[in-house]
Structure 1
């Protein structure tokens, strides 16, 4: 008895609670062509081989693999240097992280609008201290999000870094 037969027998014992359920599925299985049943095993083998070939091709370009073949190396300034391969999981993770950070920056700007005061020039301003008190219960990454928002030109403040208590009076201006 093969392992597949054994598993099928065990599956039948576990799956069916009544004889009627078993007879219904047997009738349904009668509609499946013999070629389709054989193709599933062939399809598994084909898919496995395809995955293995793709993986070995990927490993040729992976600098951390034990494969000692010559890998493609980009030179500084060349297209693709410092970037993940197109369509890779690393690229997907990067895109999702970027989207997540953009949402955090949007949320920060919304909070600045809600607690800030509009100036004569129409821009909203808030001191770092009150913003810190309001934002920290939401997220503990306020300074990092502030730096990212400034990098993308959405806010402005004096100095390179903001520290709690020391910089509580520094004014943060919303540029949107």
Structure 2
């Protein structure tokens, strides 16, 4: 008999006949949450479609969109305020700290050379000392040379082969 009365309630609901208050409240709550999910999904979908119109790698790119051209200031740069821009800034800050740390290590373990008193160290000695600090010594050295903080001969340094190459701290 319990199952029969439940099926009657469901049938009455389908025919828009008055239903128990608890059933109506549960249904309304379900409709509101599904409506909210649908609206959030639609909002995300519209934002994504708009983003794809400006994405040069998307098949959705519209030729009428404003695309930076070579030579413009924002060419090859992420959109301002984007997560990509923030990650780039964070990476730049991190690498700058590592370059400064490398220069401090060279200053501490290096020896003055020449009349100008520039501090220099051989790559092998620096490598053995720096290996406990970071495993990216060569990359950081290349970055420091690009910033004109250090100087050394050659394009790339190899452990063993280039142990006697002198690295000079310019400052």
TM-score by length of 1: 0.68
Structure 2 regions of 5+ residues with no counterpart?
A: 1-22, 31-35
1:59: which partner in 2?
52
1:163 to 158, 163, 167: 158
* Helix, strand or coil at the partner of 1:125: strand
Q: Kindly state the Cα deviation for residue 56 of structure 1 after the two structures are TM-superposed.
A: 3.2
TM-score by length of 2: 0.70
Output one character per residue of 1:96-133: Cα deviation in whole Å (capped at 9) or x when no partner: 11111111101111111111112342221111010011
Structure 2: distance between partners of 1:67 and 1:109: 47
CA contact (8 A) 2:54 2:62 kept: no
CA contact (8 A) 2:111 2:120 kept: yes
Pairing 1:73–2:67 present: yes
* Helix, strand or coil at the partner of 1:124: strand
Q: Which has the larger radius of gyration?
A: 2
1:94: which partner in 2?
88
Structure 2: distance between partners of 1:3 and 1:107: 63
Structure 2: distance between partners of 1:4 and 1:118: 80
Say how many residue pairs are matched: 144
Distance 1:46 1:132, change over 3 A: same
